Amino acid sequence: MKTRHGLLLLVSFVLISTTSAQEWTRFRGPNGTGISQCKTIPTKWTEKDFRWKIELPGKGHSSPVVWGERVFITSAEPVAPGGFHALCYNTATGAKLWQRDFPLAPFQKNPLNSYASATPSVDAERVYVSWGTTNHFMLAAFDHAGKTVWERDLGPFISQHGPAVAPVLYDGRIILGNEQDGVSFLIAVDAKTGKTLWQTPRKGGDQTTAYSTPCMFHPKDGKPFLVFNSRNHGISGIDPATGAVIWECAVFNARSVSSPFISEAAGLVFGTCGGGGVGIHVAAVRPGDPAKGVKAEEAYRIKKPAAPYVTTSLVVGDVAYLWTDQGLISCITAATGEVRWQQRTKPDAATKEGFFASPIWVDDRVFNVSRDGEVVVIEASTQRFKELFRFPLGETAHATPAVSGGRMFLRTESHLFCLGGEKR
């Protein structure tokens, strides 16, 4: 019994250590869950507690991604000297390891968007980056030393708001959504070569551009599938091996900007839609299974003002935290939509704050960053709202924090910060 008990403790320790040191490989980390078990991120800090702070060339809204001792980010300067920048820094010191520059002329976009809004994706060998203009939607891979491995031009990207679509990696494939006002499709390319493995046509149309970063859903007794959100298709289950549409559920009547979030325990996938800067509703969908003759169906929906538009919500265990662009947080039971508590980050309606970044969960706390660049930390409680700390970064921020190697990486428009880790 002692041996078995010791083995269980060892396994638990290994799992905790692995999770704490997990790589932050894409928007909102592994599978887009936004969850980290890291134990070395403080709840409160001062300016002196940052390990480093650096100024980036240009500006952008993309979130950082991390592999080992490298943090990757993008930025852009659409006027002289001009260009789109793919950047790599050392996680321990903030020293720049490399910078790749690409031509970028100004183009029409939403004034709240940037010329570098798509978060990269990274694995042990390469970092994958997307950016675009009206005429060219680019997808490229660089090795960890910054050398171009391959580059693809996917054609024009037509949207009144401009591009901001992030690639993800699954099973050796780089998968990218391209649902825009022009020719639209989902695409998977070989991560090593950039060669197209499949391409699935999608409905385009005026003002229908979707900005969903897909995630994977693993049913208890079925094949895993990709989840995409868009106005024209609702919530979709896509076969990652072939690009075939497994099921769809038409639950949106407006643009989908946020990314899907999932509760595998409840057997539900979620998405939001909205317009004019306001979320309209959150839809919870039970996935379909054609092999069993089961159609996808809407389980419930949550309407405004509790519905996010740009921000992607967070599922932890059996609860979900819906964090709206206007700073209204709702803690709900994921399986039913029952509201456990609801509170604005600033209770006074006259001083309510805005958010475009998405919340992440770190060791029983939820972190987010306001558009004004203030980090907000709350207790990850299922019973009450409790604010624990605020810290002003001093600049506009739309990027979601990243956590890897015991450190948190925070990005404002033109700066990158590193916080946490073992005490120096």
Q: What pLDDT is attached to residue 193?
A: 98
**The amino acid at 274:** G
List, for residues 114-135, the tens digit of each pLDDT value: 999 999 999 999 999 999 888 8
List, for residues 367-379, the tens digit of each pLDDT value: 999 999 999 999 9
How would you list the strands of the sheet with 148-153, edge to edge?
Answer: 121-122, 126-132, 137-143, 148-153
Task: Identify the residue with better confidence: 41 or 20.
Answer: 41
CA–CA gap between residue 377 and residue 360 (Å, rounded): 10
Is residue 346 predicted with pLDDT exceeding 80? yes
Q: What pLDDT is attached to residue 221?
A: 85
List, for residues 215-233, the tens digit of each pLDDT value: 999 998 889 999 999 999 9
Q: What is the mean pLDDT of the chain?
A: 92
Residues above pLDDT 90, as percent of the chain: 85
- What's the pTM? 0.93
The CATH number of 18-420, from 2.130.10.10, 1.10.10.10, 3.40.50.2300, 2.40.110.10, is: 2.130.10.10
Q: What pLDDT is attached to residue 21?
A: 54
Domain locations in the chain as residue ranges: 18-420
Q: What pLDDT is attached to residue 82?
A: 76
* 325 Cβ neighbours under 8 A, 6+ residues apart: 277, 278, 279, 308, 309, 310, 311, 354, 355, 356
Task: Identify the residue with better confidence: 6 or 78.
Answer: 78
CA–CA gap between residue 400 and residue 259 (Å, rounded): 13
List, for residues 176-208, the tens digit of each pLDDT value: 999 999 999 999 999 999 999 999 999 987 778
Burial environment of residue 260 by CB neighbours within 10 A (0 to 12, 13 to 18, 19 or more)? buried
CA–CA gap between residue 14 and residue 9 (Å, rounded): 9
74 token code pair: 């993008």
Taking residues 42-63, what's their average pLDDT? 97
Are residues 36 and 366 in contact, defined by beta-carbon separation less than 8 angstroms? no
Compute φ and ψ for 91, nearest 5 degrees: -70, -30
**The amino acid at 31:** N
